Chains A and B, each alone.
Chain A
Amino acid sequence: MSIYPNNMFSTKQTCWFIRKVICWRAVASIAWAVLLLPPITAVFVILSRFNLLHPIHTITECFSLLTSASAIFSFILLGGVILMVGFLNLEYYTVIPAIACSKIALLGQLLHPRQFVNSLVHCIMGLIVAWCCAVFIGGSYETLSYPCMQSDGSSQMCLNEYHLVLMLAGAFVGFSHSLLGVIHNMNYVSFHTVQQYKYLRFKGSLPLVVKCSATQALYSIRNFIALYFFLGYIPRAWICKTLNLHLNSSIHTLDSIAGLLDLSLLYQLWMSATFLLFTWYITLLLFRIFVTEVCSFPVQSSFNEDVHQCLPKVLTGKQPMILKFLALQDLALLSQRSPSRRCEVFSLSQPGGHPHNWNAISRECLSLLADLTQRLVAYHDTVATNGRAKSLSTGSERKTSSETSVISGTEDMMSPRPTMLMKTPASVFSRSIIGGAQSPLTVPFTPDLDSPFASPALRRLTAPAEQCSPWYGTVQSPHIMRRAPKLWSTSTDSQANSSLPPSPASVPSPKQEASKPSLLAQFLQNRKEQVKNFLAKRVLIMYLFNKLPEASSQALFADSQAHIWALEGLSYLVQASFSEDQFGVVQTTLPSILSCMLVLQEAVDRHFKLPHASSKPVRSTSSMGDSTYKTLRFALRATLKTAIYRITTTFGDHLNAVQMSAEHRKRLQQFLEYKE
């Protein structure tokens, strides 16, 4: 994740890039975030102290507050927090997201010591921001203690619970921000296909940031209030004890319903959380915008000491990843737009006449693509052999476990499905829950178990096992899966129909079972609790250890942005070589480029036939986490096809003169005829 431990004593090249480019970009982004702090704070102060009856009075009051000494001290604190957030962004950012393939892996990420430090720092920073917010809000929030009169008339210091709640809320929001950052991969930095100037990008994303921070603040505050309602007495008692403060018995404590229904308190909490998240998100946004800015590398240099900064050298380097990504992006852009730089790529070295530039660039791109091909083939092999064998064994084990309870277990695995065709309301309902890809935990607790058709209902417990096996998705096309939650009744039909070969013989069986005497049902009733407990335990384990659908596919393509650029760069260069390559340097590598792309195309096609690979992830717009990585495989597939078509349309029938295997030629012919 971090770039620092690796590059501290690394090569010269890494040092210059981090030192000269990335650090400066990070510093510039932090500086902008700090500069934006005063106007954001002013808006926050006006919003939190606004009084509808005296608008002008409020505004003058706000300005006098903002110029006071305590406000300036708070500004300095907030600036420090922004610096820290910016530093953490720089420390934790990554261009290749870490994708957790199961719940347990995600849990592992959350409990990682490094993440623990991150959470702790965020917690403290949240506390500091909340203290600053308390200063800005003023009024009853400003101090932790105040003098109060006890019932016996004596005066003493009492705990100001409003202040305490605000501080705790700040810490909670900071903590949950750090946790959500891991879950949503907020440290992932994606590169945009549309290059815009930094200011315009910032302006364009600003509404999204406002929306995200407001909604996220709302959710966090809701969670915090629930937590405080149940556990609020612990920190309150602790603070009272350590600071020797008393509770004012004349007013409500805030962990009661009446206390928490204070609208003003809720509003201030929400505003403070929004302010906190907004400043942090702005820092993150600026960091992303600055760090992904296009960086132009020279193709060749006439000075020896600059050679390590040239594109061919930079491309082949391994660390840091951001350098490689920026170099590939630059390659893709230069191949599209800059004839003069393309000319340098196609040029020959002065003594010797070797196309070193082109060789280095094409070799690196081809090795990237070959690497991806290998990964895909290896994954496919694992799924096809080990995965299938394993899932078969678990499937049969599950089957036996349920068949011991169901005596009439002579039917095959598919037989519970036809019962769905009867469409009793309960069974349809529970089926739709399963079809909607809910967590398997819900299944044993559906009301369906109490339906009169007990045996089919119980056998339906095998459904989660089937669902979690990789077979589950193969039998139904992804759009049915996607549609399932919406059109539950029709999708039930289509699922049942599509997953079943028409077997008229098995359809009447449920009716016979239903008319049987209830001896079976009574036996089942006894076993029910036992099976339920057993499965619940199993299901919890399965829930943790089961692979998340799609996640392995996402993980395979996590760094595919590099492959996309490599494909674009290669294909545009090949296209340009048709008219610009004077020495024919590209012609020598054209066969290997074509065969590499065709092999990759085959592997990608095969991968998309796997279950879950072609199902689109649900789009969440109200999150700052960049979900670009979830759709990278689709982008790669589209770019790959376009790249091959770009070469075939440019060269046309000339490609028949290129040497390649018969299989590849057949495949290429498909492209030449526009039949892919």
Chain B
Amino acid sequence: MCSLALFPPPLPSGHTTLCESNNELLSGTNTEDQTKQESSPLSLYFPRESLKLHSRTESSSKAAFLDHSETLWMRSAAAWRDGGFSGLLTEITNSHTEVPKWLSMSSGCTLALLRWVSSFHGSLFPHLTLRSEDMIAEFSQVLNWSDCVVRAFAWHPHTDKFAVALLDDSIKIYNPKSATTPTLKHRLQRSVAAVQWKPLCASALAVACQNCLLVWHVDPCSLSTRPSSGCAQVLSHPGHSPVTSIAWSPSGSLLVSASPMDTAVMVWDVAAESCVPLQRVGGGGVTFLSWSPDGSHILASTPSTLFRVWETRMWTCERWPCVKGRCQSGCWSPDGSRLLFTVQGETVIYALTFTDTPGISASTSAGPQAAAVVADLSETTFNTPDGDIIVGGEIQCLAWDPRGERLAVLLKGDPHTADRPAIIAVFKTRTNPIFELLPCGFVQGEPGAEPRLMQFHPNFQHGALLTLCWSTGRITHVPFYFVSAGVPHFGLSGSPLLPCPQERPSALANQSLFTEFIS
């Protein structure tokens, strides 16, 4: 099993990770880094001050403007519209001077009963009592989502453009080949939890919002910097909000979305704007979805200690109960045969292997019996010149590069203590012929910056490119230059895969690495 003790120590403060080359993570000091940042066109910086934030929510402004001299009927209708049945009951109970006594009494009783029932329901599934923003922050893959300047990030699967969702609920699209950066804003685009580009399409971008799903169609040839809200399709289903996770099928035909409030996974046919709910009892909601790159399976985690793996031929699912906590994050190997996932409250990475024999119908595809622990990321103390640094702990999210050679793990750290920062640990992985995990190193940014969000570039020519969004509002890219084992060696800039023996022979010699043997 791979553990953090095998990792090279973190960099001294002031150094930032620049790239991996010759099988080693190279770092630079702050000033070098700055100049490099400026030169790269894709590195962006969003200072927090430059964003105009919403100072108040709609519900808080309502109290300031609502005219209370309206008739009871008008107020009841408004309460029904805004707050539904319970809102109506609250309104009737509050205006007890105007309504008959029995009505206000009975509505008060009903309201109390409703609250009791919902508190009972909430005690079964505690997340249902959260406000929707807190719920997104709780279940998002982004570390400390509510405080993030960059709330979501998505590379286009085929080209070098990407979309960035910012704290002010706008989405910007950057394309190094074009001078325009369209800014997407929509009335319903609030609290963006995730964005994803549609595969096999140049223009469609799905956005998971607080109340609905939006699918933007941004014409790549258009010169407009503010596409109108008519370019966005609104997909909504009653009870399906807030949407915390979305995933396009790799063939681009379907979109799945998940909400912690809804026990059903929605499968959308976006062009027809119709959806099929996949309802299963148990779990109390769905928080995170991940579609395997070969399109055969979907990971769907729930807020309780249970996650499901759906197969996409006949849309049946396997239940996987966890012992300790809910499934926090997961990622698929490029061939879709292996799923890595982490569980809240545990500091290890688990693996599941799916062997799908081709030609035989879906029902007989044998799933694994139990998950295997492949890496242990429990707390480890490193002695650095700046003092001891404790690294490790719970895992926020996982990212696996599209070739299956690098695995990035975002560790939560502890925001209250200085010597336990959030940090990204990168593993080298190999899936063929046997699954192997080797330590690569830690990726660090400038001092004071905390990694919040990471994603691999979907088709980087020279290895892997990890894009990081920092708490300062900076977006940087860390390339890992290597020659892929599976791809023929055309590349000029690739470095040999095997570690050079003269560099760190002693360090590698006595490492006990995780290897899984094919039985």
Instruction: Decide whether A and B assemble into one complex.
Output: yes
Let me know if A196 and B202 touch, CB within 8 A.
no
Known: A195-B313, A197-B316, A675-B221. Contact between A638 and B271, CB under 8 A?
Answer: yes
Let me know if B200 and A646 touch, CB within 8 A.
yes
Query: 1/0 per residue A470-514: CB within 8 Å of B?
Result: 000000011110000000000000000000000000000000000
Known: A339-B358, A478-B230, A479-B228. Contact between A638 and B273, CB under 8 A?
Answer: no
Let me know if B273 and A631 touch, CB within 8 A.
yes
Quick one: which of A194, A340, A619 contacts B276, CB cutoff 8 A? A194
Let me know if A338 and B272 touch, CB within 8 A.
no
Looking at B271, B277, B314, B316, the one whose CB has the most chain A CB atoms below 10 A away is B271
Let me know if B200 and A649 touch, CB within 8 A.
yes
Let me know if B273 and A675 touch, CB within 8 A.
no
Docked CA distance A642–B271 (Å): 12
Within 8 A of A (CB), among B188-207: 200-203
**Residues of B contacting A200 with CB < 8 Å?**
315-316
User: Is A516 an interface residue when CB atoms closer than 8 A count as contact?
Assistant: no
**Residues of B contacting A7 with CB < 8 Å?**
none
Let me know if B254 and A194 touch, CB within 8 A.
yes
Quick one: which of A193, A337, A478, A480 contacts B253, CB cutoff 8 A? A193
Quick one: which of A337, A339, A641, A674 contacts B313, CB cutoff 8 A? A337
Give chain B nearest CB distance to A16 CB in angstroms: 24
Let me know if A642 and B272 touch, CB within 8 A.
no
| Nearest chain B residue, comparing its CB with the CB of A572 | B251
Let me know if A674 and B271 touch, CB within 8 A.
no
Give chain A nearest CB distance to B161 CB in angstroms: 8
Let me know if B220 and A642 touch, CB within 8 A.
no
Within 8 A of A (CB), among B239-263: 251-254
Let me know if A674 and B251 touch, CB within 8 A.
no
**Residues of B contacting A337 with CB < 8 Å?**
313
Let me know if A642 and B253 touch, CB within 8 A.
yes
Within 8 A of B (CB), among A606-645: 616, 619, 628, 631-632, 634-635, 637-639, 641-642, 645
**Residues of A contacting B254 with CB < 8 Å?**
193-194
Query: 1/0 per residue B325-343: CB within 8 Å of A?
Result: 0000000000000000000
Give chain A nearest CB distance to B239 CB in angstroms: 12
User: Is A192 an interface residue when CB atoms closer than 8 A count as contact?
Assistant: yes
Let me know if A194 and B315 touch, CB within 8 A.
yes
User: Is B48 an interface residue when CB atoms closer than 8 A count as contact?
Assistant: no
Let me know if A674 and B267 touch, CB within 8 A.
no
Query: 1/0 per residue A328-343: CB within 8 Å of B?
Result: 0000000011111000
Give chain B nearest CB distance to A5 CB in angstroms: 32
**A-B CB contacts (within 8 Å), total count:** 86
User: Is A204 an interface residue when CB atoms closer than 8 A count as contact?
Assistant: yes
Let me know if B315 and A674 touch, CB within 8 A.
no
**Residues of B contacting A195 with CB < 8 Å?**
313-315
**Residues of A contacting B267 with CB < 8 Å?**
194
Known: A200-B315, A674-B159. Contact between A642 and B273, CB under 8 A?
Answer: no
Docked CA distance A225–B202 (Å): 55
Let me know if A196 and B314 touch, CB within 8 A.
yes
**Residues of B contacting A619 with CB < 8 Å?**
273
Give chain B nearest CB distance to A579 CB in angstroms: 13
Known: A675-B202, A675-B221. Contact between A196 and B251, CB under 8 A?
Answer: no
A194-B276, A628-B272, A632-B272 given. 17 additional CB < 8 A pairs? A337-B313, A477-B230, A478-B230, A479-B228, A479-B230, A568-B253, A631-B272, A631-B273, A635-B272, A638-B271, A639-B271, A642-B251, A642-B253, A645-B158, A646-B251, A649-B200, A675-B202
Q: Which 6 A-B pairs have the closest CB atoms?
A: A479-B230, A631-B272, A638-B271, A645-B200, A635-B271, A674-B202
A and B contact pairs by CB, cutoff 8 A, 30 listed: A193-B253, A193-B254, A194-B269, A195-B313, A195-B315, A196-B315, A200-B315, A200-B316, A204-B277, A204-B278, A204-B279, A338-B358, A338-B359, A477-B230, A631-B272, A631-B274, A634-B272, A637-B271, A638-B201, A638-B271, A641-B200, A642-B252, A645-B200, A645-B201, A646-B251, A649-B158, A674-B156, A674-B220, A675-B220, A676-B203
